[in-house]
Amino acid sequence: MRSSVLPLRLDACLKKRLQAKAKAEGRTVSEQVRYYAQLAMIAEENPDLPLSMIKNILEGVEQAKHGLLEPYPWGILS
């Protein structure tokens, strides 16, 4: 996906909070803003899903992209 620049004006408090969260999560501030925007859009489109479930789904998608999932054997357990 091609990136484009979108200048944002943030108040100092929000900027500091974003910087702290980005550092804790190992992201740049721009990546953190993109992550929050993605979460917000998904949450708005799926109001019945809790945020924790959305985060887990996104984590699972990334794990699948990197081949880190194991097949689940469907059927009756004996």
Give tens-digit pLDDT for 21-55: 999 999 999 999 999 999 999 999 999 999 999 99
DSSP letter for each residue of the chain: -----------HHHHHHHHHHHHHHT--HHHHHHHHHHHHHHHHH-TTS-HHHHHHHHHHHHHHHTT-------S---
> Considering the entire predicted model, what is its pTM?
0.78
Domain boundary assignment for the chain: 12-65
Q: How wide is the angle at C-alpha 41 spanned by C-alphas 55 and 21, nearest 5°?
A: 55
